[in-house]
Amino acid sequence: MGQMYRIEDEETLIGRTSQAKIRINDDGISRRHARIVYDGNVVRIEDLKSANGTMVNEQPIQGELVLKDGDKVRIGVTTVLKFTYHDDIEESFQQQMYEAALRDGLTKAFNKKYFADRLESELAYARRHKAPLSLVMFDVDHFKKVNDTYGHLAGDYVLARLAKVAQGAVRSEDVFARYGGEEFGVICRAVELENAALFAERLRLLIESSSFESEGARLQITVSLGVAAFPETPAVTITDLIQAADAALYEAKRRGRNQVIVRWPEQAD
């Protein structure tokens, strides 16, 4: 909700394919659903023989249609795109409002609500299409000790720095979020459990080797990670998948921290 797409290319593809600039996973959306064509003067939309068609202001379009300011384009079952003209100031304002609604203020990672919404959407898609979906949950080892020893400002610095390091390791199509406190999550779209485990280990090593310094003090920061995936964990709801990843995370802490524990199929309930 609220995400903006600037129309500046001659052609902008809308659909489920990874080649689409406006990529949407939603019921009823074709891989190549529609395209927007911009010739420098007017903007047109064309349905690409999608299974369920494209509607503008609740009217199905045939061939190409010139878009007017304020037009509402319905793609699939629940996705509605609004076409509008903005100057740079208005675009910047809208983008800031969008970011504020979705991002954690301290770490700039996505917030818990966005994380839950996306995980619900991705799990529904994975179940419907029998596709893999992995979840990595991790938190900072001995974070209370950091706060108690160096103060809460140092703790805030650690969280912000860690998020920046982690964000650099996450693919653009994945979702990195602050789940709460010192705990973070990564939704790995279309990634099988084994590959998610490899990613988690790379992330662990990256954080362990990264520099954390606060007021001249060098801090040794490590994380414990838990990995779970669908269909290995037969999750019906996102709670099932989160609980599986969290259980693995807490097992990593129990075994001494700074390690990855994977929820393999034989461990699933």
Q: CA torsion sign, 91 to 94 to 96 to 98? A: negative
CA distance 256 to 70: 57
Q: pLDDT for 40-77, tens place per residue?
A: 889 999 999 999 999 999 999 988 999 999 999 999 87
pLDDT along the chain (269 residues), means of 10: 81 90 84 93 94 93 91 88 84 73 92 94 91 97 96 96 96 94 97 98 98 92 98 96 98 98 77
Q: Look up the pTM and report it.
A: 0.74
**Choosing from 46, 90, 122, 182, which is the catalytic residue?**
182
Q: Is 251 a catalytic residue?
A: no
